[in-house]
């Protein structure tokens, strides 16, 4: 099979569509400082928004609609687990993009990364179906990285993904993330994912 590099359109089309024919095994990535020094500009018709009760509800709905989580009950439980840990931190580090009707279009958060002492990770990155193919996923990753860099100037930013999110991996790499190969298992997981994505999708990650 011919090797194919993903285009920006691929990333915009598929970054929040999970490919369940591929492995869900965790793949860890890391972005070293410095982070972007300029806040990214939004496309016309979109604005950044702070979490509100309605937007948090839309956030939970989106996780289910995108098949990140199976049911609203699970989404509610996920939110409660995070608020029980640190609700103030969660609300201050959840970055949202809305349209002119205050409909949630895109989201990403910064959350604690248990694998590293005092580590932080990029968490729950998605674009809702109606707002995909507009480059918002790239903007929200840049926005989260920018805000993280202002607050945690000398810290790396981590994330956890999987082969089933293979177009997102390319986007993350374009935004400065690299595979985090911290032990034998992590190296094996990346080797397996690269082989699987190439063989099944003809794409290089």
Whether 13 contacts 132, CB under 8 Å: yes
Q: How far apart are CA 171 and CA 167, in angstroms?
A: 7
Q: What is the dihedral of CA 104, 106, 110, 116, to 10 degrees?
A: 140
Per-position pLDDT tens, the chain of length 205: 333 344 444 444 445 567 878 888 999 999 999 998 899 999 999 999 999 999 999 999 999 999 889 999 999 999 999 999 999 999 999 999 999 999 999 999 999 998 788 899 999 999 999 999 999 999 999 999 999 999 999 999 999 999 988 989 999 999 999 999 999 999 999 999 999 999 998 889 9
The string over 100-109, giving b where at least 16 C-beta atoms fall within 10 Å of a residue's C-beta and e elsewhere, is eeeebbbbbb
Residue among 133, 139, 141 nearest 176 (CA):
141
Position 16 scores a pLDDT of 53
C-alpha closest to that of 189 among 18, 27, 22? 27
So what CATH class is 8-201?
A: alpha beta
pLDDT digits (tens, 9 = 90+) for 138-161: 999 999 999 999 999 999 999 999
- Listed by start position, the domains of the chain span 8-201
Backbone angles phi, psi at 146, to 5 degrees: -60, -50
């Amino acid at each position: 099979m011919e090797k194919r590099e993903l285009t920006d359109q691929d990333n915009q089309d598929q970054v929040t569509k999970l490919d369940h024919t591929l492995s869900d095994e965790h793949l860890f990535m890391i972005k070293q400082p410095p982070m972007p020094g300029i806040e990214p500009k939004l496309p016309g018709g979109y604005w950044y928004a702070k979490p509100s009760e309605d937007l948090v509800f839309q956030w939970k709905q989106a996780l289910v609609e995108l098949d990140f989580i199976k049911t609203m009950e699970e989404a509610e439980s996920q939110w409660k687990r995070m608020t029980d840990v640190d609700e103030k931190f969660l609300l201050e580090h959840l970055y949202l993009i809305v349209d002119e009707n205050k409909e949630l279009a895109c989201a990403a958060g910064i959350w604690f990364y248990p694998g590293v002492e005092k580590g932080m990770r990029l968490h729950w990155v998605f674009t809702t179906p109606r707002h995909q193919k507009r480059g918002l996923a790239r903007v929200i990753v840049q926005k989260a990285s920018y805000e993280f860099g202002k607050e945690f100037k000398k810290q790396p930013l981590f994330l956890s993904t999987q082969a089933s999110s293979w177009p997102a991996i390319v986007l993350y790499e374009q935004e400065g993330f690299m595979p985090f190969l911290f032990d034998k298992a992590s190296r094996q997981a990346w080797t397996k994912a690269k082989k699987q994505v190439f063989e099944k999708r003809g794409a290089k990650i």
